[in-house]
Amino acid sequence: MRICVFLSAADLDDRYTRPARQFAEMLGKGGHTLVWGGSDVGLMKVVADGVQETGGRLCGVSVGFLAATARAGADEMVVARDLAERKRLLLEKSDAVVVMVGGTGTLDEATEILELKKHGHTDKPVVLLNTAGFYDGLQQQFRRMEDEGFLPRPLAHLVFFAEEPADALAHLEAVTPAAADAGQGAG
């Protein structure tokens, strides 16, 4: 499975890096491909290292003004013209999306795919990995949007909230056709 991960490029403490590394190692050991922003810094580096060191593949999509921080050893690296093209390519190259901790860029990426799902323009599963309660407020806001009629589809059809890395990957493997097809051939 090709799993797009939206996440921060910031250097973060262990409460965020440890679960991100754990998720990345599960991806690599499962033979999955990480599709990510391509940077070799901060949390993006932590996740790319974990995937690559455990046998997974790396597909990076950088953007011109960040190309200097792109990971040199990725299996595939594309440099987009701008952030809009980057988001489009990240989604095109993936079977599913996981949103990890991040700032405004991560939030922009997450809300764009949720908007696409809301309008039926994609059916890719989206998991919000709520590491250390980072997205508690956002989850509460989404529930309020649902309760007050702002979402035309049930929230559960748009996003799955996972508290632990293993729950995030298990959900994706259960609902993603690419994962199910791969699992049948692995027996």
pLDDT of residue 54: 97
Of residues 165 and 185, which shows the higher confidence score? 165
For residue 176, name the pLDDT band (cuts at 50, 70, 90).
confident
The pLDDT of residue 103 is 95
Q: What is the pTM of this model?
A: 0.91
- Whether residue 185 is predicted with pLDDT greater than 60 in this model: the reply is no
Rounded average pLDDT over 52-78: 95
Give ∠ CA 91-96-30 in degrees, rounded to 5.
125
| DSSP letter, residue 93 | T
182 pLDDT exceeds 60? no
Closest to 42 measured CA to CA, from 14, 5, 70, 10: 10
Q: How far apart are CA 153 and CA 125, in angstroms?
A: 14
Q: What are 127's strand-pairing partners?
A: 98, 160
**Measured between alpha carbons, how far apart are the two ends of the chain, in Å?**
16
Please write the tens of the pLDDT for every residue from 101-153: 999 999 999 999 999 999 999 999 999 999 999 999 999 999 999 999 999 99
Average pLDDT, the chain: 92
Other CB atoms closer than 10 Å to residue 128's CB: what's the count? 23
Give residue 179's pLDDT: 53
Contacts of 49 (CB under 8 A, 6+ apart): 21, 24
The Cβ of residue 75 has, within 10 Å, a number of other Cβ atoms equal to 13
Which residues are registered as beta bridge partners of 5?
98
Mean pLDDT of 60-85: 94
Number of H helices, E strands in the chain: 8, 7
Q: Looking at residue 183, what is its pLDDT?
A: 43
Confidence at residue 37, expressed as pLDDT on a 0 to 100 scale: 95
**Average confidence (pLDDT) over 62-71:** 93
C-beta of residue 60 within 8 angstroms of C-beta of residue 40: no
The token duo for 75 is: 């299996």
78, β-bridge pairs: 61
- pLDDT for residue 187 is more than 70: no
> Which pLDDT band holds residue 42 (cuts at 50, 70, 90)?
very high
Which residue type, as a one-letter code, is found at position 141?
Q
Of the candidates 33, 66, 9, the one whose C-alpha atom is nearest the C-alpha of residue 176 is 33
User: Which residues share a beta bridge with 97?
Assistant: 4, 126
Confidence class of residue 178 from pLDDT cuts 50, 70 and 90?
Answer: low
